[in-house]
Amino acid sequence: MISPCKHGERQPGRHDLVFVSPEGWRAILDARDDLAADSLLARWPKMRWPTIRRRALPCEATGFALGLPLPPSAGKKRVSLVVDIDHVASVARPPSLRQARAYAPRNWWPTLDRLDGLALRHAVEVRVFGSLAWQSLTGLDYVTDRSDLDVLFEFHRETDIDRFVADVAAIETDAPMRLDGELMGADGAAVNWREFQSGTSELLVKSLARVVLLGRHQFMSGAMGS
């Protein structure tokens, strides 16, 4: 289980886990009859499971926009929530690859270990989101035979990104699952690793606040955060 960082230590960013206080959950469930009647969602505050920060819609100008995906057994429903900032108890980064490994299918382990070793050599921090992350956070069955591995590669300016993504692509050729995911810079902006690896001159770069097209050099230099 993730150890959440202290509230106020950093603002929630893309893919961050947000832990809602008991008071916040009561406010959510009191206002949403559709959620209060869901037995699985009723377990969320009792188990102290997190939500995830998402990009707010234009109509969600106030509060924190959050979400959580339910497992395949519950129809893979995606639940959207908005909470007052005072009801955010704590925030944490997504699970590390090493933390999530024990919850992955055993035939995934060699690929996870190769990715972990690659990240270590390149000084890249590797985390997971998507089905494996939620399985590791809740213990519920999210990963199926058709699941992708969603990986977040957090790099530094000195990282040789071109070499790194080429090595990721090489690892995928022998992987039992599809490797999906993003490259994230220090400014919190991210791009799909496969799009970067394609060599395209412009990249679709996402942050918590917006989505823009940037040149490769702009993205790598952290232009979106300036």
Q: Is 148 a catalytic residue?
A: yes
Which of 38, 84, 116, 148 does the annotation list as catalytic? 148
CA distance 89 to 6: 8
CA distance 129 to 147: 12
CA distance 120 to 30: 46
Q: What residues contact residue 5 under an 8 Å CB cut-off, 6+ apart?
A: 90, 91, 92, 93
CA distance 6 to 20: 13
The CA distances from residue 183 to 81, 148, 164, in Å, are 26, 16, 10
The CA distances from residue 57 to 101, 154, 218, in Å, are 34, 26, 26
CA distance 61 to 111: 41
User: DSSP string spanning 132-186?
Assistant: HHHHHHH-S----TT--EEEEEE--TTS-HHHHHHHHHHHHTT-SS-EEEEEE-T
Q: Which residues are catalytic?
A: 148, 150
